[in-house]
Amino acid sequence: MTLTVKELIKQNNEKRKLLLPENENYYENLLVYIRSNLFRKERATEEILLEMLDHLLEAQKEGKTAEQVFGKSPQQLAEEIIESLPKESMKEVLEFAFENVLTLFGWFLVAWGFLPLISKEEQTIHIGTAAITALCVAGSLFLIVYFVFVMLKKNAFNRAKNKGSVLWSLGILIGSIWAIVLFINISLEPFGPIVQINEYTGFGLGCFFLLAAYILKKSREAK
């Protein structure tokens, strides 16, 4: 029998609750560090994480600590594991990126198209401005995701007390990226060909994107 990736993650979440606080902290740092590598096969990653958790749980029964089991340098072990994990194929990476872009634009369109849906007003769109907005939104998303992963990796083995300040700096970073995007948007003179769309188009298209992303996600998780 084979478990899906989602089931593996679920089992991991449940079994982690059985760890003693000290071991839980050690293991979770290892987990965050290993998971924050996007380009390794998700299935292999989750399998090895669950295996190591099972191992730790058995060792815990014998009174061993995570440090005794996995050594004093978790970061080095994590690096070795990441290096030995099979790489995700380019196709899968692109599919995953596509799914996330769809989700992003789906929510964006749903939010943007909601007001016209109520007020039943037609919308005027300047293709040029719309394209720049779309690019800004997508670009800022990639930037944010990139920074989140860099920070996760960098701080996985930091002491807990530093984690608050990491969250703060990340928050400020995300805030300023969005502020820049918003500023570009507002200060941009509308340009490009004009298209009229009716009150359902924006909202409807958003829903369609979200549905498509949902189907992609389900098929990915079922693997």
Partner 1 sequence: MSIRSQLLKGILDGCVLAIIEEEEVYGYELSKKLQSEGLEDVSEGTIYPVLLRLQKNKFIVGEMRPSQTGPNRKYYGITEEGKQALEIIRKEWNQIATPISNILGSDER
**Quick one: which H or E segment has residue 197?**
strand 194-197
Q: Which is nearer to partner 1, 11 or 36 (CB)?
A: 11
Residue 197 engages partner 1 in binding (rule: CB under 8 A) = no
Q: How far is the CB of 143 from partner 1 (least distance, A)?
A: 32
Place of tokens 């990915």: 220
**Listed residue (98, 214, 72, 222) closest to 157, CA to CA:** 72
Residue 2 engages partner 1 in binding (rule: CB under 8 A) = yes
Residue 77 engages partner 1 in binding (rule: CB under 8 A) = yes
Encoded amino acid at 215, one letter: I
Residue 51 engages partner 1 in binding (rule: CB under 8 A) = yes
Residue 47 engages partner 1 in binding (rule: CB under 8 A) = yes
Number of other residues whose CB lies within 10 A of the CB of residue 120: 9
Backbone torsions φ then ψ of 196, nearest 5 degrees: -100, 130
Residue 137 engages partner 1 in binding (rule: CB under 8 A) = no
Cβ proximity of 29 and 156 under 8 Å: yes
Q: Which residues bind partner 1 (CB under 8 A)?
A: 1-3, 44, 47-48, 51-52, 54-55, 58-59, 68-71, 76-77, 80-81, 83-86
